[in-house]
Structure 1
Amino acid sequence: MSRRSSFHCSKFRHVFGKASSREYSYDGVPITRGVHDNQYCSVNPCFIAMVTECAGGGSFLVLPIHHTGRVDPQHPRVCGHRAQVLDVKWNPFDDSCIASCSEDCTVKIWDIPLCGIQRNLTQARKTLIGHSRRVGLIEWHPTAENLLLSSAYDYKVRCPVRVVMAPVHHRFPSEMLLLSVSFNQEGNRLAVASKDRRVRVLDPRTGRTLQVSCNKSHRANKVVYIGGLKMLLSTGCSPWNHRQLVLWDPQDDLSEPLYEEDLDGSAGVLFPFFDPDTDMLYLAGKGDGNIKYYELSSEKPYISFLTEFRSPLPHKGLGEMWTNTRLFH
């Protein structure tokens, strides 16, 4: 009787992470001490943006991607918000355009000079007003230019907001306070993880709920669409507070997961980053010192652990750029 090997043969089984030397790192950045469960970091091929500490308002730092080394404590910042900045996201269609949201109930669109910021930037291209409580999440539409989603603690989701025209918004019940959002590749479906820790699939044009997860053994915190594999992935915790990784099939229904795995007993929220070019998944959490790598496939067992990167320092913010397969933390 033949014995089937449990070893998974993968072309990525020798992948490894390497921390940049001090010369090629960004040193001396006053990273925010905020506890909101967002990445606090966003990167594109030209710039890296990081939310920073700021007295009497909210600000974030924008540096040219190759401006490494020690950062001047007096380096100019984007500081037009009246309260703490909670999220920043680069426009996927314009490398010099970035959106930010804040506890001051506004979303602002900024134009960053190609040479970088030479003085404090206080005037935004556009300020989007309409939320009555702090705005916790923003997300650009992946296929339509100038469409931006915003979600606030007033249970309103402006989905999407056209930054040059009047917005459209939807109001949801209190259990729909969003913790995480992700558009699919076509942009016609929106996956969300909400306050009641369920995963939902919405129609972003109408706000109608199409599917809701019913698995009580998984309380979701973050969710991401898995591109060409046509899957949905969420991270969260079990009823016993073990951190979990769960795969769903949004083409069928969300009544039962395709795959579920308990990872560890740490308390930090896990952020999933999916690389569509290699079908690799990276899991990193705030306060953790490691990043785990997985390979995903459309066939069972769907997900295979590869290796992990370990750092002696905890992560405070996370951002990804897949052009050169780089994860910033």
Structure 2
Amino acid sequence: MSRSIVRQSKFRHVFGQPAKAEQSYDDIRVSKVTWDSSFCAVNPKFLAVIVESSGGGSFLVLPLSKVGRVDKNYPLVVGHSGPVLDIDWCPHNDNILASGSEDTTAMVWQIPDHTPSRPISEPIVVLEGHSKRVGIVKWHPTARNILLSAGSDNLIIVWNVGTGEPLITMDDHPDLIYNVSWNYNGSLFCTTCKDRRLRVCDPRKREVVATNFEEPIALLELDTSNGVLLPFYDPDTSLVYLCGKGDSSVRYFEITEEPPYVHYLSTYSSKEPQRGMGFMPKRGVDVSKCEIARLYKLHERKCEPIIMTVPRKSDLFQDDLYPDTAGPDPSLEPEEWMDGRDDDPILISMRDGYVPPKSRELKVSKKNVLDSKPAPRRSLSAVDGSSLPVSSLFVCLSV
């Protein structure tokens, strides 16, 4: 008789469950724009959701603790003249968020710790360089103040938001860019494109370093709708969570270095389809409950947290579930990164949990225009503010 060998993994039993009803965020009018982003971004302090609004170009930012019904008059972040298409929290400052819009600009915002008394309408900096809508904004994982934007003009621009300057422009894509993902240390990024090609780009060399992948190392056919897949990768656990827009399931897989490389774990299913999804950075999970991931599912009128746990009998800190994770401090300055240096994220222990620091203001220093060369055709402008183990897996969106 032969016995089947069961693969050993501490993540074979990961259970997903929705938060209690009173822990949801209700009466949120989620945007109906037909764009393929997640419409939601979350960090240990805030939940941000792109919403429908009469003036267009708005999104909602709530403190994580402000659960329950959201007042219809709650102040929005309003500054774009066209619908907001993508939002992304800065990994090095929990109060800084970037947005991209149909109005062809990207903007960077300082969100106060306190509830604002009126709409937030003044961004820290306005980044003007695209000729068509900006559908993707992505912060660099390790370098301070480095932000990538991608537009429907098929351009990718890498910015230093501390000065408001474009550092790198790449026009290597012949068609619409669907998604962009930095690798673990930010030395490269990967894109998916309407031309059905996957590209690995070296931004500092301003070139595509890989496109013609012969075969995938693993191929899985999913029984899902034709909606866009939103993938979220956790480098600490090597787990991938796949959420289909318009689908009602979250499928999760473990990635290993040995064949067959991708191992299906389980599926979290609910009755309501998701309009979008946010993914909490690891430093924001609750280690006392063996929570290894938390997703924020957008319904038509609410946002519902989904908790992923690995059940354990002991109440002690589970070292094997929580290796040191990326903390809030950058490991590189913009100039160091531009000079070719690479560094992994600065790691922190999760043993005592994570307490977000108080608001730190982003300083924007505008250079004297008289000391610079004439502006290129794609201009930029800054708005004054008072003061303003390790895996390198890329995870990109595909249709």
Mark yes or no: TM-score above 0.5. yes
Q: Which residue of 1 aligns with 2:146?
A: 147
Q: What residue is the counterpart of 1:299 in the other structure?
A: 258
For residues 145 and 186 of structure 1, the distance between their equivalents in structure 2, rounded to whole angstroms, comes to 12
**Residue in 2 that maps onto 1:54:** 53
Q: 1:164 aligns with which of 162, 166, 175?
A: 162
Distance in structure 1 (CA, Å) of the matches to 2:172 and 2:255? 34
Could you say which residue in structure 2 is the equivalent of 1:310? 269
Corresponding residue for residue 22 of structure 1 = 21
CA distance in 2, matches of 1:118, 1:279: 42
The 8 Å contact of residues 62 and 117 in structure 1, kept in 2 or not, is answered as no
112-121 or 45-54, larger mean C-alpha shift: 112-121
Q: Deviations over 1:235-288 (max 9, x none)?
A: xxxxxxxxxxxxxxxxxxx22221111112521111111112221111101111
CA separation of 1:200 and 1:174: change in aligned 2, threshold 3 A: closer
Query: Paired residue for 2:9?
Result: 10
Per-residue CA deviations over 1:204-242 (Å, capped at 9, x if unaligned) read 1132010003xxxxxxxxxxxxxxxxxxxxxxxxxxxxx
Q: Which amino acid aligns with 1:34?
A: V
1:176 CA drift (Å): 4.4
Structure 2: runs of 5+ lacking an equivalent: 286-292, 298-399
d(CA) in 2 for partners of 1:43 and 1:77? 16
Q: CA deviation at 1:4?
A: 5.6
Q: 1:308 to 1:4 in 2, by over 3 A?
A: same
- SS, match of residue 48 in structure 2: strand
Matched, 1:110 2:114: no
So what's the TM-score if we normalise by structure 1?
A: 0.84
1:67-95, Cα deviation, whole Å (9 max, x unpaired): 11111111110011101000000011110
The answer to whether structure 1 residue 289 and structure 2 residue 257 are counterparts is: no
- Corresponding residue for residue 326 of structure 1: 294
The structural deviation recorded for 1:184 is 1.0
Q: State the Cα distance separating 1:56 from its structure 2 match.
A: 2.6
> Which amino acid is the alignment partner of residue 326 of structure 1?
R
Q: Higher strand proportion, which one?
A: 1
Residue matched to 1:273: 232
Aligned twin of 2:205? 206
Larger RCO (CA under 8 A, 6+ residues apart): 2
Identity value in percent:
42
Please provide the CA RMSD for this pair: 1.5
CA deviation map 1:13-35 (0-9, x unaligned):
22111101220000111100111
SS in 1 for 2:233: strand
Following superposition, the deviation at residue 154 of structure 1 comes to 1.3
CA-to-aligned-CA distance 1:15-66 (integer Å, 9 cap, x gap)? 1111012200001111001110001100010001000001232100000011
Task: Sort the Cα spacing of 1:189 and 1:171 in 2 relative to 1 into closer, same or farther, 3 A.
Answer: closer
**Aligned to 1:327, what secondary structure does the other structure show?**
strand
Structure exhibiting the larger radius of gyration computed from Cα positions: 2
Q: Is the 8 A contact 1:212 1:255 kept in 2?
A: no
Match of 1:23, SS state, is helix
SS at match of 1:202: strand
Structure 2 letter corresponding to 1:257 = P
Deviation at 1:109, TM superposition (A): 0.6
Q: Distance in 1 between matches of 2:174 and 2:16?
A: 38
Measured in 2, the distance between the counterparts of 1:313 and 1:118 equals 34
Counterparts of 1:118-197 in structure 2, within 5 Å, are 118-158=117-157, 160-165=158-163, 166-172=165-171, 175-197=174-196
> AA paired with 1:328?
Y
Aligned partner letter, 2:159: V
Structure 1 runs (4+) deviating above 3 angstroms are 6-9
- Structure 1 runs not aligned, ≥5 long: 214-253
Deviation at 1:174, TM superposition (A): 5.3
- Letter of the 1:192 partner, please give it: T
Partner residue of 2:97? 98
Contact between 2:168 and 2:203, CA under 8 Å: does it hold in 1?
no
